[in-house]
Chain A
Amino acid sequence: SQQGEEDPQALSIQEGENATMNCSYKTSINNLQWYRQNSGRGLVHLILIRSNEREKHSGRLRVTLDTSKKSSSLLITASRAADTASYFCATDAQGAQKLVFGQGTRLTINP
């Protein structure tokens, strides 16, 4: 069964605006991760937030985690055309050596 589900499926904004993507999951986790994928390429790890953390920052990225609602959000501030990509959340099942990825949010930044 799918663990992570992103919302929205697609998002189109103007350059300079902020982009927010959400992820919901079903079971208890140790950590939640966000990845980025440019078209036709492999995924690149962006940020990891542990289950005992509520917020984490990395450059223009801000991730929040609400374990009571089993949800996370990724905020990209001051978006750039180069941020155009698909973004995936991934969760680990406690005790498992694997991740489960959501279906992704396709983000388009218009110049």
Chain B
Amino acid sequence: SQTIHQWPATLVQPVGSPLSLECTVEGTSNPNLYWYRQAAGRGLQLLFYSVGIGQISSEVPQNLSASRPQDRQFILSSKKLLLSDSGFYLCAWSAAAYEQYFGPGTRLTVT
């Protein structure tokens, strides 16, 4: 069966510090991978998605970036965090554009 992992679960970082969130998927090959951000009590904002290694589509201009160094690994990064980067970050995978399967999320607080 397929599983998706995200870490860390929670993170408190000062403004201006770098960020690296990791997502890995097990039990499937060549998945579509997605990074979302969710503000408190709000819906999901798609940040990046990838249909293959090295292929990244950016949905929202911002100071975040994503990389897919391996088939089942998706990394969200920032060189310098802003207060507005606080939120709940969710990684998801899918086979084509059908059901998406979500990880447990990372709660990021920028102070």
A interface residue numbers (CB < 8 A to B): 2, 30-31, 33, 35, 40-45, 48, 88, 90, 92, 96-104, 106
Contacts and interface: CB of A to CB of B under 8 A. Distances in A.
Contacts of B42: 103-104
A33 B60 CA distance: 23
Nearest to A86: B41
A72 to B, nearest CB: 15
Interface stretch (B13-21, B64-72, B74-82, B92-100): B92-100
B52 to A, nearest CB: 10
Interface of B: 32, 34, 36, 41-44, 46, 49, 51, 57, 59, 88, 90, 92, 96-105, 107
B41 A106 contact: yes
B46 A98 contact: yes
Interface residues of A: mostly helix, strand, loop or mixed? strand
Contact of A33 (B32, B34, B99): B99
Contacts of B90: 42-43
A45 B100 contact: yes
Contacts of A90: 100
Contacts of A92: 97
A90 B90 CA distance: 15
**Max chain B Cβ within 10 angstroms of own Cβ: one of A30, A40, A102:** A40
**Max chain A Cβ within 10 angstroms of own Cβ: one of B101, B102, B104:** B102
B34 A44 contact: no
Contact of B43 (A33, A97, A98, A101): A101
Contact of A40 (B57, B92, B103, B105): B105
A42 B102 contact: yes
B32 A97 contact: yes
B104 A99 contact: no
**Max chain A Cβ within 10 angstroms of own Cβ: one of B36, B57, B99:** B99
